[in-house]
A and B are shown apart, each in its own frame.
Chain A
Amino acid sequence: MTTPVAGGLAQELAATVDELRRMTVQVRTGGAASGAGVLWSAGGSENGGLIITNAHVVRGNQATIELSDGTAVRARVVAHDRKRDLAALEFEPYRAMVAAVVRGSPRLRVGELVIAIGHPGGLVGVATLGIIHAVESEGEGRAPRWIRADMRLAPGFSGGPLADTTGRLVGVNTMMQGGLALAVPAAAVEAWVRRAHALAAP
């Protein structure tokens, strides 16, 4: 390496983090901040906006969402899956917002940089950087169950986004296990949202 790159790297990282913060919300149930959430769809004239978070973050069927600009909105729990540890919350969109963009391809690679956003210990919009630790092999055509990242996440990161360096969503941060951060893969969340919607439709 002959040209200094650290400065450019820091700026680009800060820009990507800013972008990610805009699609990360705080999820509160019962008054206390309980975790993070991903703005999954911004909603439109006919549909409400959709937030995805962890099932363990929400209690009951109502929650308060605090958007990145500080606005608090009421949201209704429309799907809650303890087994997948996912929950979907619907809210009335009040302005144009930019929702998360899921990375469909290329496949995640071990060693790739990833960024997590969350709200640990009451601090809003905290970012942390890590790498993909392991990519589960897709045995017998089954989609991988977890993304494992070499990064340390505090509880306030639960339900928040794990994204690649272009700001595309690769997973929903869910728990720490054996020192590794585990996230539900974005593709699994997508499939779950589709199923949950089909069930919720009249």
Chain B
Amino acid sequence: MSTVLQSLSAELADAVQSAGRAVVAIHARRRIPATGVHWRPGAVVATNHTISRDENITVTLSDGITVPASLAGRDPSTDLAVLKLAGQSLPTASLRADTPPRVGELVIALGRPGPSVTASWGVMSRVDGPWRTWQGAEIDSLLRLDLAIYDGFSGGPLIDGGGRVLGINTSALARGVPVTIPVATVERVVTELLERGTIRRAYLGIGTQPVRVPKSLARKLELTLDTALLIVSVEPGGPADRDGLLLGDVLLELDGAAVSDSADVLAKLGGDRVGRPLTARVIRGGQVKTLQVTPGERPQSQAA
């Protein structure tokens, strides 16, 4: 007689087994290997922070065979990296992109920090809207987990009770607390890394600092916000410099949205903004001035 309890147990093990076929071990650092997911044919998703070298990377597949892999690209801002495998018939992960996870939903985190797959279980503890990593990348939704994490778990999938992948787990985006990068974000990053080898991000070439706008000035200029961004540096020859933003300008709005934090500026600088003008409102010489600035493509090594 099969009871509900036994069925649940068997279904969890089935979910681990089926999803586990697309889970691989990645040997790209010292000490223990990390985990990766065979996301699209020949493309494995891993976490950037667990890949400490660009060459001599090998991947152990679910059938125990170890094969060489090449790095297609990394995106430190989302902590994702994509590796390419040559001629593999390994199954790809089954993705759950249509229905977002729900708080309280039973989930399993898989890892393969060695030859065999490992699992830990728990529930979704938080499901929220988009958020921004400390390096400025937008993640489509905040997914937090109530489950124990173990060494080598980063880069592994979070799966539902049916073995479908909800995202990629990492411990490097939120001070060691595990978060899951949702499927939508991973899809975007994988597509771009496979096409270009890098993630395109727009930039203005300014440094800012939040400042309080004096009450008298705010009244005079009919402003509603009391905090804005003082431009404290302008990269010579950079997009902002070319378009006439000046050191000492106080940035009030960008593309119609008030800015009071550098994150507000980053929010306007996705990869699709490169070459598309933004309207900037600034206070200059006691007057409000409107300018057009066209973001450029951020050079690789640059942080902001």
Residues of chain A having any CB pair with chain B under 8 Å? 5, 8-9, 12-13, 16, 109-113, 130-137, 148, 150, 152, 164-166, 178-180
As a 0/1 sequence over residues 1 to 22 of chain B, the CB contacts with chain A under 8 angstroms (1 = contact) are: 0011110111011111100100
Question: Are the CB atoms of A109 and B150 closer together than 8 Å?
Answer: no
Question: A135-B116, A152-B148 provided; 4 other pairs, C-beta below 8 A?
Answer: A111-B108, A112-B9, A164-B9, A166-B6
- Given A110-B20, A111-B108, A178-B150, decide whether A133 and B8 contact each other with a Cβ distance below 8 A: no
What are 11 contact pairs spanning A and B, CB under 8 A? Answer: A5-B8, A8-B4, A16-B5, A109-B13, A109-B17, A111-B15, A111-B16, A113-B9, A131-B12, A132-B13, A165-B5
Bound CA span A93–B9, Å = 35
Residues of chain B having any CB pair with chain A under 8 Å? 3-6, 8-10, 12-17, 20, 108, 115-121, 148, 150-151
Question: Are the CB atoms of A111 and B12 closer together than 8 Å?
Answer: yes
- Given A133-B120, A134-B118, A135-B116, decide whether A9 and B4 contact each other with a Cβ distance below 8 A: yes
- Given A111-B12, A111-B16, decide whether A165 and B3 contact each other with a Cβ distance below 8 A: yes
Bound CA span A109–B13, Å = 6
Nearest Cβ on chain B to A163's Cβ, whole angstroms: 11
Nearest opposing residue in chain B for A152, CB measure: B148
Tally of contacts, chain A with chain B, CB under 8 A: 78
Q: Write out the residue numbers on chain A whose beta carbons fall within 8 Å of the beta carbon of B17.
A: 109-111
Q: Write out the residue numbers on chain A whose beta carbons fall within 8 Å of the beta carbon of B117.
A: 110, 134
Bound CA span A145–B103, Å = 37
Question: Are the CB atoms of B121 and A150 closer together than 8 Å?
Answer: yes
Q: Write out the residue numbers on chain A whose beta carbons fall within 8 Å of the beta carbon of B6.
A: 165-166
Bound CA span A166–B6, Å = 7
Nearest Cβ on chain A to B102's Cβ, whole angstroms: 12
Q: Write out the residue numbers on chain A whose beta carbons fall within 8 Å of the beta carbon of B115.
A: 137
Bound CA span A113–B4, Å = 12
Bound CA span A93–B150, Å = 43
Question: Are the CB atoms of A179 and B12 closer together than 8 Å?
Answer: no
Q: Write out the residue numbers on chain A whose beta carbons fall within 8 Å of the beta carbon of B5.
A: 9, 12-13, 16, 113, 165
Q: Please pick, from A16, A135, A164, A179, the residue contacting B150 in the complex, using a CB distance under 8 A.
A: A179
Bound CA span A171–B219, Å = 74
Nearest Cβ on chain A to B74's Cβ, whole angstroms: 28
- Given A178-B150, A179-B150, decide whether A113 and B8 contact each other with a Cβ distance below 8 A: yes
Bound CA span A178–B121, Å = 16
